[in-house]
Amino acid sequence: MPADLLRLSRSPAPRPATGIVHLGLGAFFRAHGALYIAQAMAASGGDWGIAGVSLKRPDQRDRLAPQGFAYTALELHPECRTARTVEVLTDVLVAPEDPEAVVALMAAAGVKIVTLTVTEKGYCHQPATGRLDRAHPDILADLADPDRPVSAIGFLVAALARRRAAGIPPFTVLTCDNLPDNGHLVKGVVLELAGLVEPALAEWIAAEARFPSTMVDRIVPATTPEDLDRVAEIIGRRDESPVLHEPFRQWVVEDDFVGNARPDLATAGVELVADVAPYELMKLRCLNGTHSALAYLGYLAGHETIADTIADPAFSRFADRVWTDEIVPGLTPPPGTDLAAYTTALKTRYANPAIRHRTWQIAMDGSQKLPQRILSQLAEGLAAGRPMSGLILAVAAWMTYVGGTDLFGKPIDVRDPLGPRLRAALDGAPDSATKVAALLSFREIFPASLAADETFRTSLVEAHAGLGRHGARHMAEVSHA
């Protein structure tokens, strides 16, 4: 049967009105937040349809539009697969094609929430400080023409300005990215940019808008061409934009919305709490921190996926030691949470053979991820006198990775907003000491206090040199010797 006859089609039920705009419509949100919102509407109703916005490219719109913006979510169990059709999307706009249409959509009175998954780099901030990067090209473009924004932050400010001018209450800004105190961070960069545009606008946003913090958790690997064929075989029709995900999911949200306008998230299993911080820190450090560590070390050892890496006894033991000796001692568990059981469950999730989460994918944008995933807890651990050799080794592995050549002499396709600058800093550096010193000078990544810590610097040089001499697997084995 021709592929075009196999495409997904919407059910005859009317689509909900748009109540949410989502910036950065990638696989993660469609496999996580969108499913919760669809489930909440199924249980309690409400017009919470989601209009997605692609901030860079039309690919997602072009794949979803012919199938009525419906898509398949395929849950990957170790022994089986479960597929469902998701029909919560109402439209997908492409920001560079028509920024005015995006601003108008976000400014519409029926839109109550704007959600974001734009990755760490999408907030145009300095990871080491959390402040707006005023020299970022997208921010410079937003300041030059605030009515035709480029960045996610610029679109938020432009739409909020238009709502203020029209006498419409602001929307709630609900970030779903892995950033510490993410609601506070996005509020800070929005207020900073708004203040540069019009100080009175920043004052109105600060007083009237809401920026609840969240914690999101679900492993969602990138979809491959082979996955499209696999989904077609399972569901009996062609879907050009499915998402694949593990069974586990968690969404913890600070219950602070403008006018209390939100879907009935609790009916879908969302944890609505007064303080997200303990959940967020637990997840950022236990999951994201070890995910990044295993990604860099596993990649350098020749492992393609996290499942392959954790199946290697050397890295399995490494993860156990990092959790037990370095991460868990610095955490206060959320209410009712056993951290030992939590990390044991994480290891089981990592080992799921049906999840092909590539080490190369997780390794992307490390300059934006390391400060909150690893460096903050490294600084705290060193100050407390804890052994932090495993996380130091992870930083050394990142430093090796961004050099663009692996331990076998093969080139690495480094994807990082600071990639060219990092590579230039390493060019001509003859040994580990000079390479480490060059990278520690990046204040966007390493706070001055940590970079100046002699114990950290010395251990980092030793770990970097050890990777070159002995390889990633050996260094993981001896990192806690």
Question: d(Cα 26, Cα 247) in Å, to the nearest integer?
Answer: 19
Phi, psi of 330 (to 5 degrees): -95, 5
Question: d(Cα 378, Cα 386) in Å, to the nearest integer?
Answer: 9
Report the pLDDT averaged over residues 342-362.
Answer: 95
Report the pLDDT averaged over residues 260-268.
Answer: 98
User: In the structure, what pLDDT confidence band is assigned to residue 128 with cuts at 50, 70 and 90?
Assistant: confident
Asked whether residue 12 carries a pLDDT value surpassing 70, the answer given is no
Q: What is the pLDDT of residues 65-76, one digit of tens each?
A: 999 999 999 999
Q: What is the pLDDT of residue 329?
A: 96
**Among residues of the chain, what percentage have pLDDT more than 90?**
93
Q: What is the pLDDT of residues 270-327, one digit of tens each?
A: 999 999 999 999 999 999 999 999 999 999 999 999 999 999 999 999 999 999 999 9
Q: In what order do the strands lie in the sheet with 243-245?
A: 81-86, 71-76, 243-245
Asked whether residue 3 carries a pLDDT value surpassing 50, the answer given is no
Report the pLDDT averaged over residues 428-449.
Answer: 96
User: In the structure, what pLDDT confidence band is assigned to residue 80 with cuts at 50, 70 and 90?
Assistant: confident
Q: Give the CA count within 13 Å in the CB-facing half-sphere of 268.
A: 24
Report the pLDDT averaged over residues 395-416.
Answer: 96
Q: Is 167 left (phi over 0), alpha (psi -120 to 50) or beta?
A: left
Asked whether residue 41 carries a pLDDT value surpassing 90, the answer given is yes
Q: Is 445 exposed, middle or buried (0-12, 13-18, 19+ CB in 10 A)?
A: buried
Report the pLDDT averaged over residues 386-399.
Answer: 97
Asked whether residue 6 carries a pLDDT value surpassing 60, the answer given is no
Report the pLDDT averaged over residues 38-52.
Answer: 97
User: In the structure, what pLDDT confidence band is assigned to residue 13 with cuts at 50, 70 and 90?
Assistant: low
For the chain, helix, strand, coil in percent to 5 are 50, 10, 35
Q: What is the 3-state secondary structure (H, E, C) of 167-220?
A: CCCCCEEEECCCCCCHHHHHHHHHHHHHHHHCHHHHHHHHHHCECCCEEEECCC
Q: What is the pLDDT of residue 450?
A: 96
CA distances (Å), origin 350, targets 78, 219, 297, 329, 375: 11, 9, 15, 22, 22
Look up residue 338 and give its two tokens.
């056993």
Look up residue 189 and give its two tokens.
């960069």
Q: How many helices (H) and strands (E) are present in the chain, helices listed first?
A: 23, 11
Asked whether residue 79 carries a pLDDT value surpassing 90, the answer given is no
Q: What is the pLDDT of residues 214-251, one digit of tens each?
A: 999 999 999 999 999 999 999 999 999 999 999 999 99
User: Quick one: how far is CA 11 from the chain centroid?
Assistant: 31
Mean pLDDT, the chain, rounded, equals 95
| CB 276 within 8 Å of CB 254 | yes
| CB 112 within 8 Å of CB 173 | no
Three-class SS of residue 117?
coil
Asked whether residue 474 carries a pLDDT value surpassing 50, the answer given is yes
Q: Which of 128, 243, 113 is nearest to 174 (CA)?
A: 113
Asked whether residue 343 carries a pLDDT value surpassing 60, the answer given is yes
Predicted TM-score (pTM) of this structure:
0.90
Report the pLDDT averaged over residues 473-479.
Answer: 95
Q: What is the pLDDT of residue 81?
A: 87
Q: What is the pLDDT of residue 54?
A: 98
Which residue in this structure is represented by tokens 């907003």? 417
Asked whether residue 208 carries a pLDDT value surpassing 60, the answer given is yes
